Amino acid sequence: MSEVVSTTKSHGGTQGVYRHRSTATGTAMTYSVFVPAHEPGTSLPVLWFLSGLTCTHANVTDKGEYRAACAEHGIAFVAPDTSPRGEGVADDEAWDMGQGAGFYLDATEAPWAEHFRMRRYIEDELPALIAREFPMLDPTRQGITGHSMGGHGALTVALRHPDRFRSVSAFAPICAPSQGPWGEKALGGYLGEDRAAWRSYDACALIDDGARVAELLVDQGDADPFLAEQLRPELLTAACGRAGIPIELRMQPDYDHSYTFISTFLADHVGWHAGRLKR
Give, as one character, the DSSP assignment of residue 81: -
137 phi, psi to nearest 5 deg: -85, 130
Q: Considering the candidates 152, 257, 269, 273, report the single residue annotated as catalytic.
A: 257
Alpha helices (runs of H) in 46-125, residue ranges in sequence order? 57-63, 67-73, 118-120
Tell me the C-alpha distance between 237 and 205, whole Å.
12
Strand partners, 142: 46, 165
Three-state DSSP string of 206-241: HHHCCCCCCCEEEEEECCCCCHHHHHCHHHHHHHHH
Q: Considering the candidates 22, 169, 224, 269, report the single residue annotated as catalytic.
A: 224
Residue ranges of domains in the chain? 3-277
The SS3 assignment for 21 reads strand
Task: Clarify whether 222 is annotated catalytic.
Answer: no
The pLDDT of residue 56 is 98
pLDDT in tens, the chain (279 residues): 999 999 999 999 999 999 999 999 999 999 999 999 999 999 999 999 999 999 999 999 999 999 999 999 999 999 999 999 999 999 999 999 999 999 999 999 999 999 999 999 999 999 999 999 999 999 999 999 999 999 999 999 999 999 999 999 999 999 999 999 999 999 999 999 999 999 999 999 999 999 999 999 999 999 999 999 999 999 999 999 999 999 999 999 999 999 999 999 999 999 999 999 988
Q: Considering the candidates 148, 152, 202, 269, report the single residue annotated as catalytic.
A: 148
pTM summary value = 0.98
The pLDDT of residue 279 is 81
Task: Clarify whether 57 is annotated catalytic.
Answer: no
Q: Is 79 exposed, middle or buried (0-12, 13-18, 19+ CB in 10 A)?
A: buried
Task: Clarify whether 257 is annotated catalytic.
Answer: yes
What CATH number is given for 3-277 in this structure?
A: 3.40.50.1820
The pLDDT of residue 115 is 98
Amino acid present at 207:
I
